[in-house]
Chain A
Amino acid sequence: MKTHSFPRWFARIAVLLIGLAALPAATGALPIWLRLPEGVSSYSGKVDGLFHLILWITGIIFVIVEFLLLFFLFRYRHREGRRARYTHGNNRLEVVWTIVPAVICVVIALLSRRSWEEIKQRMPKEAMQIEITGEQFAWNIRYAGPDGKLGTADDIVTLNQLHFPVGRPVVATLRSKDVIHSFFLPEFRVKQDAVPGMSTRIWFDSMRVGHWEIACAELCGLGHYRMKGYVTVETPEEYEKWLAEQAEQPAPAAPAGQAASVAQEKQGS
């Protein structure tokens, strides 16, 4: 009787563990810290899709491996008179567990490659061009002025204010004045380091209007934690109106309204 009940118990635990592994899929029912933040860019779904795919694959492997580990520990625990099986291994098994993980990993790599190319390598045409320059501890964002060209006298520079119209891709050229910063828009699944001496182009867009934040993801000094900016995605009309308002105001001279730091004291003087 006991020998018969054992596999059933085994199966029940397996069902329970697989159920637990399936939880991430049922995101609606989970507390916020078990969910990815909402995704608002047109490629955020691809990043999240890969994340969940890998979560499923690794989740299943995790459950199988840890379950086997616990099962072996229990099943082959020392008891009087037990003698271990004398074996040095099995070449066929070695081949199987070399090839299977290799195939899984290569498939994940191939699936990733396509999205990566789309997000980081291919810049969309007909995009709005801007320049983003990081400095300790603020984001300078440069827009084309009325002449529609970047790098001319009528450019508009804002501090920590990124505005763009909904539905239109933005191509940003990232630079840094001092140290490495990382331009991070969590909800847009955007992250790219801004490196001094380099210009890096990235693109992003938004599928809906709203307010979000820019974070710095690369340690850049004592004010790294508060190197925060604001993203406003609005309708094309609202955006044009905002840009026109900015054109009338003088460009900001220095990061204002931030706590004192050596950097800013010197800049203000």
Chain B
Amino acid sequence: MSTITPGQYAVPEPSVMPAAAEHIPGVHPAPTSFWRKYIFSLDHKVIGKQYLLYALTMLVIGGLLAILVRWQLAWPGKPIVFMGKLFPEGMPNGQMLPEFYNSLFTMHATIMIFFAIMPILIGAFGNFVVPIQIGARDMAFPTLNMLSFWTAVPAAVLIIWSFFVTGGAAQSGWTSYAPLAVIQTTGQTYWLLSLLILGLSSLLTAVNFITTIINMRAPGMTFFRLPLTVWALFITAILLLLALPVLSGALIMMIFDRVLGTTFFLPAGIVVSGQPWKNAGGGQALLWQHLFWFFGHPEVYIMILPAMGITSEILPVFSRKPIFGYRAMAYSMLGIAGLGFIVWGHHMFQSGMNPLLGTTFMISTMVIAVPSAIKTFNWLGTLWGGNIHFTTPMLNAVSFVAMFVIGGLSGIFMASTPVDIFIHDTYFIVGHIHYVLFGGSLFGAFAGLYFWYPKMFGRLMNETWGKIHWVLTFVTFNCVFFPMHFLGMRGMQRRIYDYSQYTHLKGLQPLNQFMTISLFVLGAAQVILVLNFFLSMRRGKPAGANPWRSNTLEWQTSSPPPHENFTGRVPTVYRGPYEYSVPERADDHWPQNEPPKESRFQRDS
């Protein structure tokens, strides 16, 4: 590495390149105090780890809420005595009240979507991986990055706190449809404020990612040499930047409706509990849905694109093979991002929106299935002819592909407007979203966790326990969520406290019990992950710089990387990220920054 070898692309002259880290303008010096090092750190690696702990904690809370929801569905009205002490209002003597049940599923979804999946994929992996993968010393705006994290913390505090305010936490679903959400108890205001604060945090992160990826790439790191994780997070950040302000606007309008007496979402003539509502008139109930879903549909892709990126990263490494159709992968993500903004109406087919508009949204929704299909076939193409190593990250990444296929295909049902008449607002939808967000995003997150853990902590997670965790999670996940499609086919409505009221839902209790028992095992299996996560920090096998023999830049520096990511100069990039098993090379990997030994450029010079 002592001599600079000009690559295929122009490399700055050595004199222009800074010689040592401390002389680089804009790079902050390594902190010495505990507070600056671990709490209010500017280092993207520390912030990434902070997000990781944040997200995993919220994942546990969200999971416990899900267990309570499913308890009620398996054994309606059966008390859980100790819960009566924790929530004397919502669960008197351990018996769940309907309004508490409504809070549970609302908060489960809110916490999982905004406080677990998004922070783990974007906050944790995005922050930790992106700057090193593009060969940067840190994010473009380290202080802004720190602020992003510390803005997300009060949002989480607020959302948890809302459980203990009068009337309990928000109970109008994670979609908070007006006017229900406007007339709800105080918990709803906490919910709105919490998401508003968290939205600000995500916006700051989005700006930071976009700037970093455009401006901070190492010499030779062209856009089409970027690892697909970076592509995915780049597109995700653009989606966040364009979609979140719309949500924030809607949240502010609803806060105004609740607190200041405006009527953005309140039409005239609303009568609640026999009394005319104090301020109504002039607003539109469906306006909320249009604003919410204009954000909400890109949001679904915000949660799945990073997981797609992680999968596209891991499949080539463990197949020892270049990704199949790199450009198709990047373009299809761009396609998803663009189309994602014109499909929101498919959440509103039965909402009273003009049915003719429903038809146009059906067509755009059908079209958005195509880029996802392209990605799936390219993942299959990557495995074809590979040399596949079944490590824990690989098992989780392959599970992502297998489960995302189910989540994608079940989406076609609800994209068809007439079929959606029957399955809309039923468990079919709940099954679909869990195949995308758990089967997809969360398996992607697990894959990323096992994959980058050695880079984060310098030690490998235990492979045997990793595989046990994977097999238990994979099997029980399917036992919990696949039957949801059957419940939906019977017409079982979602968000329903007691389905035994309805004749058409008779006979579904045994299936619901099977799902809940499977969830207990699924939940218990996560204890293995938690133990593996913490115990491996001390007892894990030392990883070395590049345990997976991977090409991308984060593996070409020590584990964990030094404060400034790369000792000496930032690396120069000579080739794409997935040059595995190149013929005529003895080694089956070829790091992006390894100078070409027999380059004609070298011979020319």
Query: Which A residues are closer than 8 A to B by beta carbons?
Result: 32-37, 46-47, 50-51, 54-55, 57-58, 61-62, 65-66, 68-69, 72-73, 76-78, 82-90, 93-94, 97-98, 101-102, 105-106, 108-109, 112-113, 115-117, 119-121, 135-136, 174, 177-180, 182, 184, 186-187, 189-198, 200, 212-213, 215-226, 228, 254, 262-263, 266-267
Contact = CB atoms under 8 A, between A and B. Distances in A.
Contact of A94 (B325, B350, B511, B583): B325
Contacts of A85: 321, 384-386, 581
A34 B489 contact: yes
B413 interface: yes
Interface of B: 97-99, 102, 171-173, 177, 179-180, 183, 267-275, 277, 283-286, 319-326, 328, 350-352, 355-356, 358-359, 362-363, 366-367, 369-370, 373-374, 376-378, 380-381, 383-390, 398, 401-402, 405-406, 409-410, 412-413, 415-419, 421-426, 483, 486-487, 489-491, 493, 495-499, 501-504, 507-508, 511, 580-583, 588
Nearest to B384: A72
Contact of A213 (B273, B366, B502): B502
Q: Which interface residue of A61, A76, A116, A121 has the most chain B CB atoms within 10 A?
A: A116
B69 to A, nearest CB: 13
Contact of A86 (B321, B490, B497, B508): B321
A136 B415 CA distance: 30
Nearest to B582: A86
Contact of A195 (B285, B362, B386, B415): B285
28 contacts: A32-B507, A34-B489, A36-B489, A47-B422, A58-B409, A72-B383, A72-B388, A76-B383, A76-B385, A86-B580, A90-B325, A90-B381, A93-B325, A94-B325, A101-B374, A105-B366, A136-B272, A177-B271, A179-B183, A180-B177, A182-B350, A195-B351, A197-B283, A198-B285, A200-B352, A219-B173, A224-B495, A225-B496
A239 to B, nearest CB: 21
B422 A97 contact: no
Given A184-B493, A219-B102, A113 B362 contact: yes
A13 to B, nearest CB: 16
B586 to A, nearest CB: 11
Contacts of B493: 184, 215-217
B273 A33 contact: no
Contacts of B377: 93, 97
A47 B419 contact: yes
A196 B179 contact: yes
**6 nearest CB pairs, A to B:** A197-B267, A85-B385, A186-B491, A89-B325, A105-B366, A84-B321
Given A121-B355, A196-B267, A217-B426, A73 B388 contact: yes
A125 to B, nearest CB: 18
Contacts of B177: 179-180, 218-219
Given A85-B384, A198-B267, 4 more contacts: A69-B398, A85-B321, A108-B366, A266-B275
Q: Which interface residue of B367, B388, B426, B495 has the most chain A CB atoms within 10 A?
A: B388
Contacts of A121: 355-356
Contact of A192 (B350, B412, B495): B350
Given A136-B273, A225-B499, A51 B284 contact: no
Nearest to B321: A84
Contacts of A101: 369-370, 373-374
B580 to A, nearest CB: 6
Nearest to B395: A73
Contacts of B326: 88-89
B366 A47 contact: no
A78 B274 CA distance: 70
A267 B370 contact: no
Contact of A180 (B285, B374, B409): B285
Contacts of B385: 76, 84-85, 87
A54 B273 contact: no
Nearest to A230: B503
B387 to A, nearest CB: 4
Nearest to B401: A69
Nearest to A39: B422
Contacts of A57: 412
B240 to A, nearest CB: 27
Q: Which interface residue of A32, A112, A266 has the most chain B CB atoms within 10 A?
A: A112
A219 B322 contact: no
A115 B418 contact: yes
A199 B39 CA distance: 55
Contacts of A218: 177, 425
B319 A84 contact: yes
A54 B419 contact: yes
Given A35-B489, A219-B177, A191 B421 contact: yes
Contacts of B412: 54, 57-58, 105, 108
A136 B272 CA distance: 8
Q: Which interface residue of B102, B269, B410, B503 has the most chain A CB atoms within 10 A?
A: B503
A226 B173 CA distance: 17
Contacts of B489: 33-36
Q: Which interface residue of A72, A174, A177 has the most chain B CB atoms within 10 A?
A: A72
A171 to B, nearest CB: 14
A159 to B, nearest CB: 14
A97 B376 CA distance: 10
B498 A76 contact: no
Contact of B422 (A51, A93, A197): A51
Contacts of A93: 325, 377, 381
A161 to B, nearest CB: 16
Contacts of A263: 272-274
B490 A51 contact: no
B356 to A, nearest CB: 7
B487 A116 contact: no
A106 B97 CA distance: 46
B421 A189 contact: yes
Contacts of B383: 69, 72-73, 76
A78 B497 contact: no
Contacts of B504: 37, 186-187, 212-213, 215
B270 A178 contact: yes
Nearest to B507: A32
A32 B493 CA distance: 16
Nearest to B326: A88
A261 B249 CA distance: 33
Contact of A76 (B319, B323, B486): B319
Contacts of A32: 490, 507
Contacts of A50: 416, 418-419
Given A72-B380, A219-B495, A178 B272 contact: yes
B339 to A, nearest CB: 12
Contacts of A88: 322-326
B498 to A, nearest CB: 5
B358 A120 contact: yes
A266 B273 contact: yes
